[in-house]
Amino acid sequence: MINILAQKQNPIKQTIKTGLFYLTRHARFLPFGGDSAVLASAQRGLRAINVPFVVNASTHHQSDVTWVIRGTKSLEQALRGKEEGSIKFLVAGPNIVVIPEHHKGILKNNLIDCILVPSAWNRDWWVSLEPQLAQKIYVWPAGVTVPATIKPRAQRNQWIVFLKRAPDELYQKVIRTLEQKHINYKTIRYGSYTPNEYRALLRESVAMIHLQDSESQGLALQEAWAHNVPTLVWEPGVMISPVTGQRWDADTAAPYLTDQAGMNFRTKESFATSLDTFINQLPRYTPRSYVEAELSDAASAHKFMEIIKKFGYTG
């Protein structure tokens, strides 16, 4: 049995935040956070592979594994349980802190048996900051739901320009180039849409151009791939942490992009050439198959089980 702990949101604050989001469509009030998507995926995935679990049971609940997905308060509660002996095996992550030293270095507590981070570059970054954690940090990507049926790409009539954090001059270059090629597109800005609105748009889209300098995992990309929407991704090849200011030279914009799902480009000067290549290769991309095999809820749950079995779990 797995006990999943995830810090609960204040219902009054959530109601206010949701109302402000629908009034403003501003990312500041976004009530549909990635941490909620990760929690939902973990539950769907474990259910799909028939692994018994409970959510937010007492830390005295008889569980083989306690998994704190989000919230420092939940982790503090679990650490007390581990110290008292009521928790056998404690997993923490991936939605607790941005870097290990945050919240008084709570992720560095020796009572934590396993730490989960959402991607390989994230793991490398954390290990560079805290080398002593290397043996307990594992990469675990949350999954997404793969639609049972989708419209054939040939019957779709638009592209998406997904704008999250990118220079305006790059964005202007992208839309000018699309207009020159008479490609029908719709720009969506991160934080201005609901999950259902995004999925409805994906169902009608041929491809997506993703403009964001770094992603810890990229769930919006996975959603696109699940709907068989290939992506052309801006990959600057460097991440400047908004938290520490540290420069990290790595491909961080789309940690799970593969040749099945699309391709990347580096600069605005190379965009037009990259777009031509991307268009020519559209027929051969199979992102939905890739997600079904590697990044679905069930695939994600299997990865979680494989990780904890490395520590001797036999459930």
> Could you give the domains of the chain?
2-143+296-309 (3.40.50), 153-294 (3.40.50.2000)
- Determine the Cα–Cα distance for residues 51 and 281; give it in Å rounded to an integer: 40
- Determine the Cα–Cα distance for residues 125 and 189; give it in Å rounded to an integer: 28
- Determine the Cα–Cα distance for residues 63 and 74; give it in Å rounded to an integer: 16
Mean pLDDT across the chain, nearest whole number? Answer: 90
Please give the average per-residue pLDDT across 220-244, as a whole number: 90
| Confidence tier at 26 by pLDDT (50, 70, 90) | very low
Which of 38, 42, 41, 18 shows the shortest CA–CA distance to 194? 18
Which of 60, 59, 85 shows the shortest CA–CA distance to 74? 59
| Confidence tier at 19 by pLDDT (50, 70, 90) | low
* Whole-Å CA distances, 43 to 31, 52, 105, 175, 222: 19, 10, 28, 39, 18
| Confidence tier at 21 by pLDDT (50, 70, 90) | very low
Please give the average per-residue pLDDT across 11-37, as a whole number: 52
Please give the average per-residue pLDDT across 157-163, as a whole number: 97
Which of 74, 65, 140 shows the shortest CA–CA distance to 107? 74
Rounded to 10 degrees, the C-alpha dihedral 281/263/274/154 comes to 40
- 3-state secondary structure at position 83: helix
Query: Which H, E and C letters describe 187-222, residue by residue?
Result: EEECCCCCHHHHHHHHHCEEEEEEEECCCCCCHHHH
Give yes or no for a contact between 194 and 237, defined as CB atoms under 8 angstroms apart.
no
* Half-sphere exposure for 308 (CA within 13 Å, toward CB): 21
Residue 29: its pLDDT value, please? Answer: 36
Rounded to 10 degrees, the C-alpha dihedral 183/203/221/44 comes to 180
Reported in sequence order, the residue ranges of the chain that DSSP labels E, i.e. its strands, are: 2-6, 53-55, 65-70, 90-95, 114-117, 137-139, 158-165, 185-189, 205-212, 231-234, 239-240, 247-248, 262-265
Residue 175: its pLDDT value, please? Answer: 98
| Confidence tier at 28 by pLDDT (50, 70, 90) | very low
- Determine the Cα–Cα distance for residues 99 and 258; give it in Å rounded to an integer: 27
- Determine the Cα–Cα distance for residues 242 and 172; give it in Å rounded to an integer: 24
Residue 144: its pLDDT value, please? Answer: 97
The first and second tokens of residue 121, run together, are 């570059």
**Model pTM score:** 0.91
Residue 24 has pLDDT above 80, yes or no: no
* Half-sphere exposure for 227 (CA within 13 Å, toward CB): 23
Convert the pLDDT of each residue in 48-86 to its tens digit: 999 999 999 887 777 889 999 999 999 999 999 999 999
Convert the pLDDT of each residue in 165-194 to its tens digit: 999 999 999 999 999 999 999 999 988 788
The residue with greater pLDDT, 116 or 35, is 116
